[in-house]
Amino acid sequence: MRLMRMAVLVSVLVLAMSESAYAYVGPGAGFALAGSFFAVFAAVFSAFVMLLTWPVRLLLRFLFGKKAPAKARFKRIVILGLDGLDHGLTTTLLAEGKLPNLAKLRDQGGFQSLGSTLPPISPVAWSSFQTGVNPGKHNIFDFLVPDEQTYQPKMSSVEIRPPRRVLRIGKWKQTFGGPDIRLLRKSRPFWSILSEYGIFNCIIRVPITFPPEKLHGVQLSAMCVPDLRGTQGEFTRYTSRPLDQGRSHGGAVVSVVPQGLKVVSKLAGPPHPSRPELGPLKIPFQVTIGDRDNAVLKIGSETRNLRLGEYTEWIQVKFRSGLTVSVSGVCKFLLLSVEPEFELYVTPINIDPEKPAMQIGYPSVYPIYLAKKQGAYATLGLAEDTWGLNDHVLSDDQFLQQCMDTDRERELMFFDALEKVPRGLCVCVFDGTDRMQHMFWRYHDKLHPARPAEIPESHINAIGDLYQRMDDLVGRTMAKCADTDNLLMVLSDHGFNSFRRGIDLNRWLELNGYLSVDDSRRSEDYLAGIDWQKTRAFAIGLTGIFLNLKTRFSQGIVEDGQEASQLKNEIVSRLEGLLDPLSETRAIKRIYQAAQVYNGPYKNHAPDLIVGYDRGYRVSWEAANGQTTRDVFHMNTRAWSGDHCVDPSVVPGVLFCSQPLLSDRSRLLDIGPTVLDLFGIAVPSYMDGKALAIGDRAGPRANNAENIQGSVS
């Protein structure tokens, strides 16, 4: 708008004062020309102001900025997070010479296994990474936690409430402002401490950074950013098949009836902002079938060609409620089939990064900057649609394409950050590695029950190919960080292993007399059929068992103290010996008591027991959702075939460093303290992590390195 106003003003002056005003050639070309001149003017003016104020800013920072007690050892530290990169598999591939760039990084610096957290799952692990504390201090223990009043699962890291300001006039209701979003992760990210010392931070897609917190630098949020419907990623499938043939877990299925060559339906978006009883806002769309492979999609103001099996680019969709309110999202369409049945897949509707409906980055213009720079991109916390593949809506190739597209978008952001941040901290997490290993492990594990008899040639080595792609990314990153005053770390939050058998903990608890469930309601999600007056312990989420404590839950029956302690000991001793009847092997490596393994003010929010499954096992799909089936053990035949919700010793992550790693053992929660230490900042005493000893392959560096604190470039 400001650009337009300036353009108009300049043009008016030109027109008013010049006899050659007839040279004006209309608003379109006029805008373009005036806008160009304004852009040049803005660039020159801002350069002038910047150069003029630079010494002043430098002086102010020098006089009033907080000073680190020691000199920084590096000008820039770059951390490349590859979610789920497994230490064992990486070691094997390194030995086979398949990861040349990581091998080079190992040889010039160091490579170690990186201890994950308990449990070794992304929200917990990345929270410890960023805060340097154990879960008892950062309050994240799982993806989900049960509500203490209703027992219903809720997200552990974020709470999203409707807007607080509402104007009501009779039946009419108008909300003001955005939703009330609260981050439930406690403690403080180490980049917040760096910010205090004037060190610039660029934090891209690190899980559990939503809603974004203030920092000196820029940040793009990741895990837990919802889609426009408020879910963690709900795809939509339009089908002309009878609905009962297409039961879906992770998506909405909409029945359509083709009329000749036309299919007309609606795309559901966010709930109505002021009258939720009206259901979601919807946009009509129409698909006109051309032939077996082509169709034309018309939605809103967009018209796109659909080609069988190919994703469209991101399409902006606007959901309107009333004349003035509209919410903008982006999604991709994929024509799955034209005949004999019509099938259309739509990705979860991501928050439009160019017009975000809620703050997904800091400052709020950073996501907009990225969208202007590189075009629309996935903003959803879990961007890759694993449910689409799990529900057999997407094929392996289509899922892989989605993952690779997301990685490409991430790479553009990351390399832009490397250009824009010559000093300070730059962290970027690629989580496609986690999603792809979850979904393609069945091709890697020859004994996996979901492994098909015939594996497509392109996927036989899907996991190896993925590691090689990441190796290539590391190579390009190394090239950008080649300066001796840069430190590059490549790390993962946990490793991976096979998920062959699922354990229904609730069934085990029932069989052992700790839980009572209404037999007719076993298949209902979210602990629906449980009789709380007869239940002493229950499981929900990926690794936790909760005691039904009187002091914690609204219908609790277990007294805290000795009774609880006895109960925990009893469950641990019985459950640890659980044998898989199929193989006669132990399914659980160890069970941890939260009170003993966590410390900090939030340890009472943890599940009472954390189950460390052995290799090949995990909580069953049903138990994770709060169901109670009739069997303790379940064969996992889903595409989601690899996992890491096991004992941390089974799935260590990796740590590569461009400088020698002198510490014998490194843990994920040591990274934050290490970065602080490398920037010359004292590690706060509340942090549980310790600064790792990082050597110097080129001799003492401290003499050469500048003190980054206080620098304005």
Which residues bind to another protein, rule: CB under 8 A? 4, 8, 11-12, 15-19, 21-22, 24-33, 35-37, 39-40, 42-44, 46-47, 50-51, 54, 200, 218, 301, 363, 365-366, 368-373, 375, 419-424, 712-713
Closer by beta carbon to another protein, 29 or else 479: 29
Helix (H) or strand (E) holding 106: helix 100-108
Which is it for strands 343-346 and 235-239: parallel, antiparallel or unpaired?
antiparallel
Give me the least distance between CB of 264 and another protein, in Å please: 22
Cβ 19 to another protein, closest distance in Å?
6
**Could you give the CA distance from residue 338 to residue 287 in angstroms, rounded to a whole number?**
10
For another protein, the closer of residues 11 and 477 by Cβ is 11
Q: Which is nearer to another protein, 369 or 532 (CB)?
A: 369
In the complex with another protein, the residue whose CB is nearer, 319 or 345, is: 319
DSSP state for residue 609 in the 8-state scheme: E
Instruction: Tell the smallest beta-carbon distance from residue 185 to another protein (Å).
Output: 24
Q: What separation, in Å, do the N-terminal and C-terminal C-alpha atoms of the chain show? A: 31
Task: Please state the separation of Cα 36 from the chain's center in Å.
Answer: 39
Other C-beta atoms lying within 10 Å of the C-beta of residue 406: 21
- Tell me whether residue 246 or residue 363 sits nearer to another protein (CB atom): 363
Q: Rank residues 308 and 421 by Cβ distance to another protein and give the closer one.
A: 421
Q: How far apart are CA 388 and CA 344, in angstroms?
A: 12
Give the shortest CB-306-to-another protein separation in angstroms.
Answer: 19
Across 600-678, the runs of DSSP E, i.e. the strands, are: 609-613, 616-619, 633-635, 642-643, 653-657, 666-667
Residue 56 burial class via C-beta count within 10 angstroms: exposed 0-12, middle 13-18, buried 19 and up: exposed
User: Are residues 202 and 425 in contact, defined by beta-carbon separation less than 8 angstroms?
Assistant: yes
Q: Are residues 89 and 465 in contact, defined by beta-carbon separation less than 8 angstroms?
A: no
Token pair 């490596």 is found at 589
- Report the nearest approach of another protein to the CB of residue 361 (Å): 10
> Which residue do the tokens 């103290």 mark?
561
| CB 323, min distance to another protein, A | 14
**Which residue number, 30 or 695, has a Cβ lying nearer to another protein?**
30
For another protein, the closer CB: 422 or 475: 422
CB of 370 to another protein, least distance (A): 8
Residue 43 to residue 597: CA distance in whole angstroms = 56
- Of the CA atoms within 13 Å of residue 240, those in its CB half-sphere come to 18
Nearest approach in angstroms of CB 281 to another protein is: 20
Closest to 144 in 3D by CA, of 224, 246, 205, 39:
224
Q: How far is the CB of 23 from another protein (least distance, A)?
A: 8
Six token digits for residue 432: 């496609």
Give whichever of 309 and 422 is closer to another protein, judged by the CB atom: 422
